[in-house]
Chains A and B, each alone.
Chain A
């Protein structure tokens, strides 16, 4: 599975992004591209030391500045679904590798669009984030 396929599948899901400068951004992924550039909405930015916080309605982050992304556990299962459906549809047209350009079918998406919840690990490192223990990665609307 390709990391960028997983990231594309994670669109509309909450996530935590840590940048190389140490800042973290909690928000919902709106869109991403092949360079890992991302748009987030309803974002909470945490300073490197975990002592300052900002709310922003949306932001654009250059992919090359990302250190890592934390994604809800269940998203990885949706990628499998997407890949299987894609390969089935494509088999007749042409063999070989396809670009990662096409998005999944609407149907698969809808089927998974609903309820999340259950286990959500803490996002972010302990220090400065109130320990982070048990904190859901979905930023509460403030």
Chain B
């Protein structure tokens, strides 16, 4: 399949959605419309006033329409992050 997501399957991925949210989880599957299956996923909620909040979510199907970015996570680098110290503007939604 041309989409190249195959190499991410069973790897930890970071998804940015059209509404500006960031989901992290194990990519278990996808289809031609980029619908995704994320397992053991969580959401990272960014804020300028407090550290990054992680919300545990579990098993997810994210509809392809809503997917903006799929990136493979470097788990070593990610595990070294101190999320409590990270301050960031939340992303805004995509303007259609």
* A residues neighboring B (CB under 8 Å): 1-7, 20, 36, 63-64, 66-73, 75-76, 120-123, 125-126, 132
Chain B interface category by residue count = 20 to 34
Which residue of A has the minimal Cβ distance to B65?
Answer: A64
When the two chains form their complex, are residues A73 and B58 in contact, meaning their CB atoms are under 8 A apart?
Answer: yes
When the two chains form their complex, are residues B28 and A36 in contact, meaning their CB atoms are under 8 A apart?
Answer: no
What CA separation (Å) do A76 and B38 show in the bound complex?
A: 10
Secondary structure type dominating chain B contacts:
strand
B14 contacts partner chain A, Cβ-Cβ < 8 Å = no
B60 contacts partner chain A, Cβ-Cβ < 8 Å = yes
When the two chains form their complex, are residues A36 and B63 in contact, meaning their CB atoms are under 8 A apart?
Answer: yes
Given contacts A2-B29, A2-B31, contact A70 B57 (CB under 8 A): yes
Question: Could you list 11 examples of A-B contacts with CB < 8 Å?
Answer: A6-B59, A7-B61, A64-B65, A66-B63, A67-B17, A69-B60, A72-B58, A73-B59, A76-B37, A121-B58, A132-B55
B62 contacts partner chain A, Cβ-Cβ < 8 Å = yes
A73: B residues at CB distance < 8 A: 39-40, 58-59
What CA separation (Å) do A132 and B64 show in the bound complex?
A: 26
A3: B residues at CB distance < 8 A: 29-31, 35-37, 61
When the two chains form their complex, are residues A6 and B61 in contact, meaning their CB atoms are under 8 A apart?
Answer: yes
Given contacts A6-B37, A73-B58, contact A68 B63 (CB under 8 A): yes
A66: B residues at CB distance < 8 A: 63
Task: Name A76's contact: one of B35, B39, B55 (CB within 8 Å).
Answer: B39
